[in-house]
Amino acid sequence: MIIPCIDLMGGKVVQLVQGREKALEGDAPVAMLERFAGFPEIQVIDLDAAIGNGANDDLVALLASRAKCRVGGGVRSAERARALIDQGAWRVIVGTAAFTPALDEIVAAVGRERVIVALDSKGGRIVVKGWREATDFTAEQVLQRFESRCSGFLCTYVDKEGMMEGTDLEWFRRLRARTSLEVTAAGGITTLDEIRELQRMGVNAALGMAIYTGKLDLAELARMQHLQQLT
């Protein structure tokens, strides 16, 4: 599955480089949603909530009411997860809280099938708190620990996020081999060949910068998605 991304900051759609430097702004959130209408699922990340700098709750609720959205950013409590589901989110993405007791509370509140665990890697280690703090773990080490408490994984190769330099397909291949659950790849995916290789692995592709800069054509991506659904 090809999953376009809508990242929110300060009420706007943005794209950051490695989660820090703003590189560009997109169209209005609803306009972006309309551009992505040819895809079965949208990824919405509230970057302000992720770093603890407010939230974009109204926009998240608006987007989730109009499309099938997986929503992340600051999902660190059962209350937050439940609120997002109640607003219309299809699934919630849990990053930082996955490494705390809050994960079990979130799963109890919304159900395992609604939870995606984010395993974001920078310099070989999982990073949390908006990618600003490193843990002692690698994604390969912890995948199986979370399998009973989620329905899939969002794995971001932060080292290449937003840099338009390609991603690390071998890393995603290793992750795919370690779990039977859904795996979604993000971070630096830049070419159609990379997406095709991820599809061959059985890995979803979450796309941001390459779409917003026009490096990847939305019409071509929609055709690829349609063909994948037919197979």
Q: Which of 175, 214, 169 is nearest to 196 (CA)?
A: 169
Is residue 217 among the annotated active site residues? no
List the beta bridge partners of residue 8: 13, 46
Which of 85, 80, 158 shows the shortest CA–CA distance to 119?
158
- Give me the catalytic one of 120, 136, 168, 217: 120
Residue 122 bridge partners (DSSP): 125
DSSP letters of 33-69?
HHHTTTSS-EEEEEHHHHHTS---HHHHHHHHHHS-E
Position 203, amino acid: V
Dist. CA 84–CA 82, nearest whole Å: 5
120 is catalytic: yes
7, 46, 57, 136: the catalytic one is 7
Give the residue numbers marked as catalytic.
Answer: 7, 120
